[in-house]
Amino acid sequence: MNRLGELVIKRRSFLTGVGGALATGLGAKHLCDWNEWSLRAPVFVAKASSYEVDLETIIKNGLMELGQSPAWVKGKAVLLKPNLVEASDRAPHINTHPAVVRAVAEVFRSWGAGSVVVAEGPGHCSDTQLVLDESGLGPTLRESNLEFVDLNHDDVVFVSNRLRQTALAQLALPATLKHADLIVSLPKMKTHHWVGVTLSLKNLFGVMPGIVYGWPKNVLHFAGIGPSILDIAAAVRPHLAIVDGIIAMEGDGPIMGTAKHAGVLVMGTNLPAVDATCVRIMGLNPWRVGYLVGASGRLGPVSERHIDQRGEPIASVASRFEILNHPSLAILRS
Amino acid sequence: MAIFPRIEPLLGSDLYCLQKRGTVSPASTVVETDSLNPSWQEQARRELAGIKSSRCGWSYGRRGAPCVEPTVLACLALLVSGNEESRGDDLAHSRRAADWVAAIQHPDGLLPISQVVEGPGWTTPFAILLWCTLAVHDSARARAVLWLLSLAGNTGDRGAEARAVVGHDQTLAGWPWVEGTHSWVEPTAMSILALGRAGLGNHPRVAKGTRMILDRALPHGGWNCGNKTVFGRELRPQPVPTAVSLLALAAQGIRSPAATRGVDYLQRALPGLRAPISLGWSLLALRAHQAMPPGADTALERAFSDCAGRLDSVRSLALLLLASRQESPSLLTSSDSSQAQRHLTTKDMQRESSW
């Protein structure tokens, strides 16, 4: 067992993630491109103009385009991990829209999942119920008879940190993850003022229990946000990502940014590939996002030529996302 | 080494000694009970008493190992909301829980989340609050207080870049959630409350923590979980950080514009607030600031009906019960610092001066 304080040995520098990309330099693309030469992953991009369209059909078609079928889901315990950060009913673009969560749950139910639960540990608010109420997800879960697990206050298990991108020897994870056969990351498409973007990989911060890591999960900030993202992804190993980019966030994300209508859902079974595609849709350069550079070759492909793009071409849905006007973030555009 | 006074028990052989302190009238301590139509408080008490995860304490859910935070909140709620008839059981529950909390304390004074998860220590103030309320485990309490005094959030001026990005004073040390990280509002406020209850409300660390709380107040009212502004943007207030900050300021007897703005924020937020934990903490804070809004009882009853029977209702039930009692803020904010100062040893004085 651990006293987490003993694990925190590395002090965070400001703007860690983007700084990491800067440090990696222009050689990163070529080096990592070579590292991931044997990796291939399909990613499906769908247009979805609003939350009122038939999201279930779009998601079902997308999964089938990715080669999945009801047999993949049948009888399995499915855990949906949306992105709920903090409560604000005036800024719904902070959190994954409830309509997306419901649609994904209904697809898995219709495909014969043994169970579907929604689970999250909000990063900025110790009262999870408040975030559920104000995000609108709480009422949706009740209407849809979907169980919710508060990962911030779940039983905890410790696992060894296999990837060791941080100095953390072990990671504390919610016991609920152990019982899931399929873990689905359901993030919001957002810019992020520390690491450039927050998508399906960064969304995994939310599985880390607040009772162990605090609110916000400052231990992981000190360990390095980008490296922590990689360690968590390697430990949790999600099976699918579906990114809510219908109303996304640009500017000062992940909390104070402005709503941006991007009109897309992006999905795939390899999270770095999904995130790299999202970054391209956002008009940014994935090789300038430190943790994607770190993920390349280790967790999946980032290079466009290693991603089998299905559905809508990126060019047909791409739109320029504003980023915070700060020198450390300008590199995301280059 | 007994460095702390034996605090006058808030719960003793007489009816809860809050009455003796004049903070509450005897009549108001008794929950109205009607066996055919019990009040929501009585229902909440029954449910809370019935969902202990073990003989010793409560977990966050209804299964799993007991944990310090829900156990302490449940005990305080049962103790403050009981009546003559229930007092024996309430005390028995709470003393067993207090013994269990003492049993899992680390030798250096830290209180872990539970027996299973040995860190990270932010639950230590909760243990102090329970032990102070019951006036038990003096030596465990002393160790916990010393550990708390030894813990501080990371500080330091990290240069012009950091100052331009983060809008608060990074040199002010409060308390972190986890050792080795920054100070945050909630653990700092809880530490101020616990140290105050342990008679150290005048300690320099408490004064510095209070300054940190005031520094982190949002310009337009309330508190976020920690930051005030980032990249020049004022963050949004949240009920729980605001409420515990207001309780800490009340414990310190501080009336300030930040507190007034915090109270205003909570009063604005309350009509839309149904989440029991946020509602409970908010009403506790408003009680402490003599600013209870009309309709609070209705809001509590409605929140109870929402959370009754849920798997994760321990803290919700406890905080709703605590918020429903006029005397509850005293369990968090009362202190007797003059006695504590007399009992500080030379070693502790040296420790004090190092801060």
pLDDT recorded at residue B36: 59
pTM of the model: 0.90
Distance from CA of B53 to the nearest CA of A (A): 13
Say whether A256 and B61 touch across the interface (CB within 8 A).
Answer: no
Q: Which residues of chain A have pLDDT under 70?
A: 1-32
Say whether A214 and B121 touch across the interface (CB within 8 A).
Answer: no
- The pair of structure tokens assigned to A327 is 């020198």
pLDDT recorded at residue B24: 33
Backbone φ and ψ of B111, nearest 5°: -105, 120
Check CB contact of A330 with chain B, cutoff 8 Å: no
**Which chain B residues touch A87 with a CB distance below 8 Å?**
238
Q: Is the pLDDT of residue B183 over 90?
A: yes
Of B67, B235, B239, the CB nearest to A130: B239
pLDDT recorded at residue B19: 33
Of B120, B182, B186, the CB nearest to A5: B120
Say whether A126 and B119 touch across the interface (CB within 8 A).
Answer: no
- Look at A100-109, A267-276, B10-19, B243-252 and tell me which has the smallest mean pLDDT: B10-19
Query: B160-181, pLDDT tens digit by residue?
Result: 777 778 889 989 999 999 999 9
Query: B67-101, pLDDT tens digit by residue?
Result: 999 999 999 999 999 999 999 999 999 999 999 99
**Which chain A residues touch B122 with a CB distance below 8 Å?**
214
**Placement of tokens 């991603």 in the chain:** A307
Question: Half-sphere exposure of residue B242, counting CA atoms within 13 Å on the CB side?
Answer: 33
Per-residue DSSP letter, A113: B
- Pick from B73, B236, B283 the residue to mutate for testing the A interface (most A CBs within 10 Å): B236
CATH architecture of the region A17-333: 3-Layer(aba) Sandwich (3.40)
pLDDT recorded at residue B35: 53
Our measurement of the distance from residue B118's CA atom to the centroid of its chain's CA atoms, rounded to an integer in Å, reads 21
Q: Is the pLDDT of residue B124 over 50?
A: yes
CA–CA distance from B212 to each of A53, B220, B258 (Å)?
A: 48, 17, 12
Of A2, A86, A153, the CB nearest to B119: A2
Of B178, B224, B233, the CB nearest to A214: B178
How many CB pairs below 8 A link A and B? 142
Nearest CA in chain B to A173: B117
CA–CA distance from A126 to each of A109, A133, B23, B162, B278 (Å)?
A: 30, 13, 30, 26, 9
**How are beta strands B229-230 and A307-311 bridged, if at all?**
unpaired
Say whether A255 and B235 touch across the interface (CB within 8 A).
Answer: yes
* Average pLDDT of chain B, as a whole number: 85
Contact A22, A285 (CB under 8 A): no
**Which chain A residues touch B118 with a CB distance below 8 Å?**
1-3
Of A4, A11, A126, the CB nearest to B119: A4
Contact A261, A298 (CB under 8 A): no
Contact A46, A62 (CB under 8 A): yes
Say whether A218 and B119 touch across the interface (CB within 8 A).
Answer: no
Domains and CATH numbers, chain B: 12-28+40-150 (1.50.10.10), 159-293+325-355 (no CATH)
**How are beta strands A41-47 and A258-268 bridged, if at all?**
antiparallel
Report the SS3 class of residue A177. Answer: helix
Gap between the Cα atoms of A331 and A157, Å rounded: 38
Gap between the Cα atoms of A312 and B58, Å rounded: 52
Say whether A5 and B61 touch across the interface (CB within 8 A).
Answer: no
Distance from CA of A262 to the nearest CA of B (A): 24
Report the SS3 class of residue A300. Answer: strand
Say whether B119 and A216 touch across the interface (CB within 8 A).
Answer: no
Check CB contact of A222 with chain B, cutoff 8 Å: yes
Of A3, A153, A214, the CB nearest to B177: A214
Q: Is the pLDDT of residue B15 over 90?
A: no
Report the SS3 class of residue A77. Answer: strand
Gap between the Cα atoms of B192 and B197, Å rounded: 9
Check CB contact of A10 with chain B, cutoff 8 Å: no
B146 Cβ contact list (under 8 Å, min separation 6):
B3, B109, B348, B351
Per-residue DSSP letter, A127: -
Distance from CA of A323 to the nearest CA of B (A): 12
Check CB contact of A214 with chain B, cutoff 8 Å: yes
Q: Is the pLDDT of residue B352 over 80?
A: no
Check CB contact of A215 with chain B, cutoff 8 Å: yes
Three-state secondary structure of A226-259: HHHHHHHHHHHCCCEEEEEEEEEEEECCCCCCEE
Report the SS3 class of residue A275. Answer: helix
Report which of residues B336 and B85 the model is more confident about.
B85
Contact A14, B162 (CB under 8 A): yes
**Which chain B residues touch A133 with a CB distance below 8 Å?**
274-275
pLDDT band for B57, please (50, 70, 90 cuts).
very high
pLDDT recorded at residue A250: 97
Report the SS3 class of residue A150. Answer: strand
pLDDT recorded at residue A70: 98
Of A11, A127, A172, the CB nearest to B240: A127
Per DSSP (E only), the strands in chain A are: 41-47, 77-82, 115-120, 147-150, 156-160, 170-174, 182-186, 188-192, 196-198, 240-250, 258-268, 307-311
Our measurement of the distance from residue A137's CA atom to the centroid of its chain's CA atoms, rounded to an integer in Å, reads 17
Of B162, B187, B316, the CB nearest to A14: B162
Distance from CA of A267 to the nearest CA of B (A): 31
Gap between the Cα atoms of A266 and A276, Å rounded: 11
Check CB contact of A8 with chain B, cutoff 8 Å: yes
Domain definitions of chain A by residue range: 17-333
Q: Is the pLDDT of residue B288 over 60?
A: yes
Gap between the Cα atoms of A173 and A209, Å rounded: 7
pLDDT recorded at residue B195: 98
Secondary element (H or E) of residue A30 = helix A27-35
Three-state secondary structure of chain B: CCCCCCCCCCCCCCCCCCCCCCCCCHHHHCCCCCCCCCCHHHHHHHHHHHCCCCCCCCCCCCCCCCEHHHHHHHHHHHHHHCCCCCHHHHHHHHHHHHHHHHHCCCCCCCCCCECCCCCCECCHHHHHHHHHHHCCCHHHHHHHHHHHHHCCCECCCCHHHHHHHECCCCCCCCCCCECCCECCHHHHHHHHHHHHHCCCCCCHHHHHHHHHHHHHCCCCCCECCCCCEECCEECCCEHHHHHHHHHHHHHCCCCCHHHHHHHHHHHHHHHHCCCHHHHHHHHHHHHHCCCCCCCHHHHHHHHHHHHCCCCCCHHHHHHHHHHCCCCHHHHHHCCCHHHHHHHCCHHHHHHHHHC
Nearest CA in chain B to A3: B119
Residue type, A89: D
Contact B338, B197 (CB under 8 A): no
Q: Is the pLDDT of residue B218 over 60?
A: yes
Query: B293-304, pLDDT tens digit by residue?
Result: 999 999 999 999
Residues 90..129 of A with a Cβ closer than 8 Å to B: which? 91, 124-127, 129
Rounded mean pLDDT, B57-74: 92
Contact B188, B172 (CB under 8 A): no
B276-288 and B257-269 helices cross at what angle (nearest 10)? Answer: 140
Gap between the Cα atoms of B116 and B136, Å rounded: 24
